[in-house]
Amino acid sequence: MSVDGWHTLLVLGGIRSGKSEFAESLVADAPTVRYVATAPAGDPEDTEWAVRLAAHRARRPGSWGTEETATDPGRLAEVIAAAGPNDTLLVDDLGGWVTVLLDPAHQPADDTATIAELATAVRASPARLVLVSPEVGLSLVPTTPLGRAFTDALGATNRAVADACDAVALVVAGQTAWLKPTTAAPPAPTSPATAPTSFDAAASAAPAPADPGTAVDLGARDVALPEVLTPTAAPVPAPTTSGGPGSADWAAPTMALPMIATGLVIQPGMELPMPDDYTGPQAVDRLATLDVPGAGLGVLEQVVGFAAATQGTSTPRPWDSVRVLLIRGEHAGGASAGAAPGESARRASQARAGRGALARLAAENGASLQVVEAPASAPIEDGPALSAEEVDAALRYGWRLAEQAADAGVHLLVLAACGAGADAAAAAVLAATAGAEPPAVLGRVVTEQGEFDDNAWMVRCAAVRDALHRTRRSAREAKDVLAELGGGDIALATGVLLGATARRLPVLLDGPVGTAAGMVSRDLAGQARHWCLLPDHGGRPGVRLAADVLGLTPLVDLRLDLGEGAGALAALPLLRSALTLAATLPAHPSLGGALDDTDTEDTTDEPDFAEPEPAGPGPTATWSDAAGPGPATTGSDQVAAPGRRAD
């Protein structure tokens, strides 16, 4: 329930502003909630008031307990003071409490002292506490003595409680503005000579990546984002030669975009965009009308529906601008048992140099590649993986990476990851968020020689078990899970998913880090999972479980194990092919589609297409009207597309 590490929160708002719904959303995932109702019963003949109270009761889950404090103004402070560190309280609202306080039945009394007692109880409370209160200070001064007494007392109460709380939010027309703590002012500009470069991707002229143990402030707004690299496909050697691929593995890198200072605060209950509810089903329905000889696209219809919903059109286009984000994060302790020292650093350097499975597949798909170094994570069996400040910084940094991609015109993100102990950290997150047993979601350890290391697997299981035991009494809120168990790579990936959702940018998940980030992101913004697509589960039990919880259906069952992200890139051409067919095929003639040219004009015995010339040195001619990226037809030879005559 805690928001950005705060455990006491005051939610202010006007009448019908949505303040109660917002407060309820903050505690919705708590195991138990005690709802403290302060409003008096009211006049039995006031049916409108009774309907309001009934609506509030109907919204509460059946597992919540209710405590009434309307009979005694001092009872509220007693309830708050008696709550323990494992309790979650929702007080709704202080306006009702002030009404009881001013009731003649409780007068004469020292109202100021009673308000001070309430503020003292809030300040000293170890419980997770959310208080709701109406903000009436923006209206006109009441014309009656009783109205003025109420606004004065409520204003004094709000000020005292706001001072005692860790955080204060104001809800206006369903939109939340955070009043306390205020966003820190941006740091003074840094000269180029002193600007941090620890997170710049290594290119030929770029600085070397930061050592995983180096502490770097990801949240600082002057930290440069990693450079975006554009892999090029390696030339395939001719069968008669023995030479290897050419040495030019990369085109000139695209420089990272300038950083944008957003003053971002990532918190539970964020309202982010949802994909279009109508265009997805419309696109799938349209597939039944296409002129295809068989039954259609099968399970790939899901891809068409997903692309249509995320693009907001019933005729989605194939993703022609793709970026791969490779997040490297190291986990110390038992989580990394069996991992070869320096292996993840080698993989990251390999990707930067345009080698390895991930970079080669990115090149084949025409995708850009960005290598991101996440903060190193401490042993989870001994203590938190990250501090709360590091979690916030990693979330904001990941959000900025997604914003940068969207600003660059990227249409699809592919989330990739590498790092010692990442699988175990993801298993710990799944166990904490989905209630799974660690051995059931932690994949076996494979050595560099391709053999299973069951001893290392048992050490990893023990580390996850000990971490879960250590945190058994801790809050299971999103940021707490990231700090205690997830670490830097999963926190950064979570920020990417949230930022992509905010910018309406779809994401391909592929592996435990991405799906663990999906599990955490749903508690910060439930809309995030609807912008994710899972091409393949890769045979990983944890990915299967997360997919089931998130409602993501894997499209294929290739069981590739080429590293997180490579499986998604391997499946991407198939997904693009489905979108190309859905976008370009006409309707069947029986449903009003146009007849082919051969059905109306071709009455000769000539072949329907020209035979292409045998391939020789130099560029190969391509279909002159083929859809998708590729070189234009070269020379004077024109090759007709299938079904069309060459003139």
**DSSP label of 143:** S
Instruction: Decide if 269 contacts 22 (C-beta within 8 A).
Output: yes
SS (H, E, C) 544-567: HHHHHHHCCCCCECCCCCCCECHH
Amino acid at 98: V
- Distance, CA of 436 to CA of 545 (rounded, Å): 9
Tell me the three state secondary structure of residue 622.
coil
Continuous H helices in 165-297? 279-287
CB neighbour list of residue 273: distance below 8 Å, 6 or more residues apart: 501, 502, 504, 527
Instruction: Decide if 77 contacts 67 (C-beta within 8 A).
Output: no
Question: Could you tell me which of 13, 44, 255, 263 has the C-alpha nearest to residue 138?
Answer: 13
Give me 558's structure tokens.
């290739």
Give me 179's structure tokens.
């009043």
- Lay out the sheet containing 507-508: strands in order across: 368-373, 322-328, 412-418, 507-508, 532-533
Q: Please report the beta strands in 165-204, taking only residues with DSSP state E, as ranges in sequence order.
A: 167-172, 175-180
Which residues, listed in sequence order, are joined to residue 452 by a DSSP beta bridge? 446
Instruction: Decide if 321 contacts 412 (C-beta within 8 A).
Output: yes
Amino acid at 22: F
How long a stretch of residues is the chain?
A: 647
Write the DSSP string, 11-55.
Answer: EEE-TTSSHHHHHHHHTTTSS--EEEE------TT-HHHHHHHHH
CB neighbour list of residue 181: distance below 8 Å, 6 or more residues apart: 167
Question: Could you tell me which of 317, 326, 209 has the C-alpha nearest to residue 568?
Answer: 326
Give me 281's structure tokens.
């089903």
Give me 334's structure tokens.
């038992």
- Distance, CA of 99 to CA of 105 (rounded, Å): 11
- Please give the positions annotated as active site: 564
Angle, to 10 degrees, between the axis of helix 356-364 and the axis of helix 343-352?
30
- Distance, CA of 528 to CA of 550 (rounded, Å): 10
